[in-house]
Structure 1
Amino acid sequence: MKNLWTKFRTFLNTKLGFFVVAIILAWIKTYFIYLTKFNLGVKGSMQSFLLLFNPIPTTILLLGIALYMKGRKSYVYLLIIDLITSLWLFANILYYREFSDFLTLTLIKGSGSVANNLGKSILGITKPTDFLVFLDLIILLILLGSKLVKVDVTKLNWRIPTTITAIAAVLFGINLTLAQQDRSGLLTRTFDNNYIVKYLGLNSYSVYDAVKAAKTSAVKANANSSDMNSVANYINNNRVTPNVQYQGVAKGKNVFIIHLESFQQFLLDFKWDNQEVTPNLNKIYHAQNTLSFDNFFNQVGQGKTADAELMLENSLFGLPEGAAMVTDGTTNTFQAAPAILSQKGYTTASMHGDVPSFWNRDNTYKSWGYDYFFSSHYFKEKKDYNIGYGMKDKIFLRDAANYVQRLPQPFYAKLITVTNHYPYLLDKKNQSISKTNTGDSTVDGYVQTAKYLDQSIGEFMDWLKATGLDKNSMVVFYGDHYGISANHKKAVAKLLGKKDFNDFDNAQFQRVPFMINMDGLKGGINHNYGGEIDVLPTLLNLLGVDNSQTVQFGSDLLAPKHSQLVAFRNGDFVEPNFTKVNGTYYHTKTGAVARNLTSEQKQQVAAMSNQVATELSLSDRVIKGDLLRFYKNKNFQKVDRKNYTYNKTKALKKLKKQNKKQKTSIMFQNKNKSLLDLYHTDAPELEH
């Protein structure tokens, strides 16, 4: 035994021996992280084996680079490479915890557009065990620092590192072959990054993602009008006739789009601490003059809020990686709601209590044709006015009303709330309900910020009534994306009083509110299945705007032949009969796995899967290739970005001039006197 230990110590003191130990430690660490930090949906012995095996080839390949170096440089390079890969793994752990996905190159490139206010979020999701990703590096440093391992400066024969690189390549080839056998078309047909990681590993996924990003850049450069023709043909062949009964019922009305940040459908009528969490939104949801949808789903990908905005205003899907507003918002051609309505005589504005660069809004909104963008630069800023990702909702909506009253009518105004945003922090003076008791810090504060958001909505709606705007406006509410991710299943099960919360339950949990409130509107709760991709066609029909020429992947939710197939960004779907999650089909009504399908049912689910894949792919082609630059719509004039500026001084001067000319704003109609005295809020920060 002693002799064996001596041989091991001797081997460890060689450059090759230290390299082998580093490989083993990195492999064990990575596999442990895969099992404990990610939810990769591993099924079967082959997937289990590949998850265990896939860290080895790339670890050997990357750390093997150090063996090409001479003397002490080998050890330094090995430690640097280990540190870099550990940091990458650590970053993915944090990102995955809240977004159930992995970091992409396009997301990182656009990180400057979303980087502000992230400090508290990162601290809130970091767990002590996350730092285990650096344990192997610490062990290696201890071995060297304590001189338990001596640095071997002997130069290796060039054949050794070359052979090790070749071994890594062969092992990766075996890995890829086995993966392709278990899932054919792994690298060509997948919409879910989890598949790449569980089959090939995180390092391979990173390379795969970089290659895809390069290809995307090439696609735009090589795109031409014929690419647009194939998309247009699909759209025209699948275009759904809108609902005639509701056509034009809101013609000439103002439009408010109220963006309910991270707000999920289950919050409506939900009670905690013996009180309704959202009494104001509950009232709107059940009102006779509100069209409410209880099977409306968020369809976002990595872009989250940015994806929701893209779908809402363009009826185009978000990209499979990154956010299109960041990667393509500045340069692409769009046919967005603000531009469509502006050309119909509407004044268009978006209001958001954060910096204008967040999600690249200050550039994207110009491409979408927004006349005005009232960002945080337009509002009074005090330290206690802000929390998390911008102004507190009560203060923001009160201050936004100041600009609403100046907008020439009819107008299209989007108001983006932010207080109900992860990590769901709220100072005590604004808390009016206790936290839930799941024991999950991410989940338990959710009802507090949701109730605060609801209170702010109640105050804003009261102001609309006091000013008379409620009589000539259509107010649209929508939840942009989930508030609680799939990584909190136990807490959600407890919150909802369920014994279990599986992948099917999580798919159904993606419901978010969609409500259209308008005086005189024939309302009720509509059970049609739909999603954010369907909002624009629905609203344009209500407004009586011809929508027969636009390139949109959604359809009017009220249309008799509206497709109730709701596509998720990863290729899954939900519809009244079947739900697809990670390749498994479920019966939507019961949640049971759909076994022993008839041949007809098999054809149905196959056709639906194909339709989802086709539409996602075509939408991606439109964005990645900037194909709308080739599309001619006789009812739409392409946006010229040069015509827009969001500089505060210039924009307010333009607004004042527009008011003098059109004379239709409620403030102008009130003899140019402000109506803010009619706005009542209990925001403690505004008390004097």
Structure 2
Amino acid sequence: MKNHWNKVSSFCNTKLGFFTLTIVLAWIKTYLMYLTKFNLGVKGSLQGFLLFLSPLATTILLFSIAIYMKGRKSYVYLLIIDLLTSTWLFANILYYREFSDFLTTTLIKGAGSASNNLGKSILGIIKPTDFFAFADVLFLVLLLVFKIVKIDIRKLNFKIPTTISAIAVVLFGINLTMAQQDRSGLLTRTFDNNYIVKYLGLNAFSVYDAVKAARTSAVKANADSSDLKSVRNYINTNHTEPNIQYTGVAKGKNVFIIHLESFQQFLIDFKWDNQEVTPNINKIYHANNTLSFDNFFNQVGQGKTADAELMLENSLFGLPEGAAMVTDGTSNTFQAAPAILGQKGYTTASFHGDVPSFWNRDNTYKSWGYDYFFSSKYFKEKKDYNIGYGMKDKIFLRDAANYIQQLPQPFYAKLITVTNHYPYILDKKNQTISKTNTGDSTVDGYVQTAKYLDESIGEFMAWLKATGLDKKSMVVFYGDHYGISANHKKAVAKLLNLKKFDDFDNAQFQRVPFMIQMPGLQGGINHTYGGEIDVLPTILNLLGISNQNTIQFGSDLLAPKRNQLVAFRNGDFVSPDFTKVNGTYYQTKTGEVVKNLTPEQKQQLAQKSNQVDTELSLSDKIITGDLLRFYKLKNFQKVNKKNYNYTKTKALKQLKATNKQKKNSLMSKNGNKSLMNLYHTDAPELDN
């Protein structure tokens, strides 16, 4: 035994031996992190073997760079490469924990547009075991510092590193071949990054992603009008006629879009601590003049809120990586709701209580045709006015009301709340309900921030009623994305008193509220299956605006003959009969796995999957190729970004001039006197 150990020790004291030790440690560490930190959906012995094998080839290839170096340099480079790959692994662990996805090139490029206030979120995500990602680096450094392993300064024969690199390439080829056999079209037809990491490893995914990002850039440069042909053919073939009974019932009304941050459908009528968590929203949901949808799903990808906004106002899907608002919002041509309504005589404005650059809104909103963007620059800022990702909702909505009363009517106003955002922290003076008791810190604070959001909505709706705006407006509420990710299944099961909470249940858990309230509206709870992609066509029909020739992938949620297939960004779907999750089909009503498919069922499921893939790929084609620059929409003028300026002094000067001309804002009709005395809030910060 001692002799054997001496041989191992002697080998590790050579450059090749230390290299081998480094490879083995990094390989085993990465595999263990794959198993414990990611939910990659490994099924069967082949996928299990590939998960084990996948880190090896790229690790050898990357680390082999160091052994081309002479003397001590090879050790230094080897440790630097190990540290960099470990840091990349660590970063992905943190990102995946909250977003169930991996970091991409486009996401990193746009990090500056969505990085504000991330510090608290990151601290809330980190677990002590995450630092195991650096364990091998620390161990190797200690071996060298304490001279347990001595540095071998001898130069290796050039054939050795080249042979090692060649072995790595061959090994990767074997890995890829086996992966392709289990998952046909792995690198050509995938909408889920989990597949790439599961089969090829995180490093390979990073290279794949970088290449894909470069190709996307090239696609936009080479795109031309002929690329629109397949898109238009699909849109025309699958166009759904809207519900004529609702056509124009809201014509001329003001439109409020109220963004319920991270608000999931299960919160409706949910009780905790013997009280309703969201009594105000519950009241709206069940009102006779509210159209409520209980099978409405979020369809976001990595862009989350940005994806929701994109779908809501353009009826285009978010991108598979990153956020289109960040990567394409500044340069692309859009035919979005603000521009459509703006050209119909509406004043358009978006309100958000954080910096204007968040998600690149200050540039994207110009491309979408927003007249005004009331960001944090427009609101009074005090230290205790903000929490997490911007102004507290009660203060934000009150301050937003001051500008709403100045908007010429009719107007289209979107208000983005933020307090109900991860990590769901709320100061004690604003807590009006106790935390839940799942033991999961992410989940347990969720009801507190949700209740705070609900209270702020109650205050805002009371002001609309007090000013009479409620009678002149259609108010649309929507939840932008999930609040509790798939990484908290046990806690969700406990919270909802469920015996299980698996991948199927999580797919159903993606329901978010969608409600439309207006005096005289024939309301009720609608059970149709739909999602955020369908919001714009629905709103346009209610306003009496046709979307016959528009490039939109959604359809009127009230249409009697609509296709109730809801596509998720990763290629999965939900429909009234079947649900697809990670390649497995379920009966939607029972949650049972579909077995022994009939030929008719096989054909039906194949058609659904093909439709989802087609819609996602065509939508991606529009955005990555900036194809709308080639499309002339009848009675629509292309947005000129130069016409918009969100600088506070210039924008308010413009607003004042417009009011002087039109004289139809709420405040103008009140003799230019403010109606803010009618706004009542119990926000404790305002008592100071």
Taking structure 2 as the reference length, the TM-score comes to 1.00
Residue 136 of structure 2 is matched in structure 1 by 136
- Separation (CA, whole Å) in 2 of partners of 1:592 and 1:182: 24
Residue 432 of structure 2 is matched in structure 1 by 432
Cα distance, 1:2 vs structure 2: 2.1
Deviation string for 1:60-81 (max 9, x for gaps)?
A: 1111110000000000000000
Deviation string for 1:363-414 (max 9, x for gaps)?
A: 0000000000000000000000000000000000000000000000000000
Length, aligned pairs only? 688
Cα contact 1:659–1:668 (8 A) shared by 2: yes
For 1:578-657, what aligned pairs fall within 5 Å after superposition?
578-657=578-657
- Separation (CA, whole Å) in 1 of partners of 2:614 and 2:244: 28
For 1:78-227, what aligned pairs fall within 5 Å after superposition?
78-227=78-227
Deviation string for 1:482-526 (max 9, x for gaps)?
A: 000000000000000001100000000000000000011000000
Residue 551 of structure 1 is matched in structure 2 by 551
Residue 70 of structure 1 is matched in structure 2 by 70
Deviation string for 1:520-551 (max 9, x for gaps)?
A: 10000000000000000000000001211210
Residue 480 of structure 2 is matched in structure 1 by 480
- Separation (CA, whole Å) in 2 of partners of 1:15 and 1:281: 66
Residue 402 of structure 2 is matched in structure 1 by 402
For 1:345-360, what aligned pairs fall within 5 Å after superposition?
345-360=345-360
Unpaired stretches in structure 2, ≥5 consecutive residues: none
Cα contact 1:30–1:133 (8 A) shared by 2: yes
Deviation string for 1:553-598 (max 9, x for gaps)?
A: 0000000111100000000000000000000000000000011121
For 1:116-515, what aligned pairs fall within 5 Å after superposition?
116-515=116-515
The amino acid that maps onto 1:429 is K
- Separation (CA, whole Å) in 2 of partners of 1:70 and 1:93: 34
- Separation (CA, whole Å) in 1 of partners of 2:628 and 2:6: 70
- Separation (CA, whole Å) in 2 of partners of 1:451 and 1:381: 23
Deviation string for 1:25-61 (max 9, x for gaps)?
A: 0011000000000000000010000000111111111
Residue 572 of structure 2 is matched in structure 1 by 572
The amino acid that maps onto 1:247 is T
Cα distance, 1:129 vs structure 2: 0.2
- Separation (CA, whole Å) in 1 of partners of 2:510 and 2:635: 35
Cα distance, 1:6 vs structure 2: 1.6
Q: SS of the counterpart of 1:666?
A: coil
- Separation (CA, whole Å) in 2 of partners of 1:604 and 1:155: 63
Q: SS of the counterpart of 1:569?
A: coil
Unpaired stretches in structure 1, ≥5 consecutive residues: none
Deviation string for 1:416-474 (max 9, x for gaps)?
A: 00000000000000000000000000000000000000000000000000000000100
Cα distance, 1:204 vs structure 2: 0.3
- Separation (CA, whole Å) in 2 of partners of 1:225 and 1:485: 40
Cα contact 1:270–1:276 (8 A) shared by 2: yes
- Separation (CA, whole Å) in 1 of partners of 2:574 and 2:626: 29
- Separation (CA, whole Å) in 2 of partners of 1:437 and 1:247: 47
The amino acid that maps onto 1:371 is D
Cα contact 1:549–1:635 (8 A) shared by 2: no
Q: SS of the counterpart of 1:477?
A: strand
- Separation (CA, whole Å) in 2 of partners of 1:482 and 1:281: 17
Residue 32 of structure 1 is matched in structure 2 by 32
Deviation string for 1:621-670 (max 9, x for gaps)?
A: 00000000000111211100000000000000000000010010010000
Residue 523 of structure 1 is matched in structure 2 by 523
- Separation (CA, whole Å) in 2 of partners of 1:320 and 1:75: 38
Q: SS of the counterpart of 1:138?
A: helix
Taking structure 1 as the reference length, the TM-score comes to 1.00
Q: Residue 49 in 1 paired to residue 49 in 2?
A: yes
Deviation string for 1:284-304 (max 9, x for gaps)?
A: 000000000000000000000
Cα contact 1:574–1:588 (8 A) shared by 2: yes
- Separation (CA, whole Å) in 1 of partners of 2:384 and 2:396: 12
Q: SS of the counterpart of 1:29?
A: helix
Deviation string for 1:286-339 (max 9, x for gaps)?
A: 000000000000000000000000000000000000000000000000000000
The amino acid that maps onto 1:214 is A
The amino acid that maps onto 2:581 is V
Moved over 6 A (4+): none
The amino acid that maps onto 1:442 is T
Q: SS of the counterpart of 2:187?
A: helix
Deviation string for 1:583-625 (max 9, x for gaps)?
A: 0000000000011121111111100000000000000000000
For 1:657-672, what aligned pairs fall within 5 Å after superposition?
657-672=657-672
Q: Which moved more, 1:1-10 or 1:21-30?
A: 1-10
- Separation (CA, whole Å) in 2 of partners of 1:2 and 1:98: 47
- Separation (CA, whole Å) in 2 of partners of 1:5 and 1:305: 56
- Separation (CA, whole Å) in 2 of partners of 1:515 and 1:433: 25
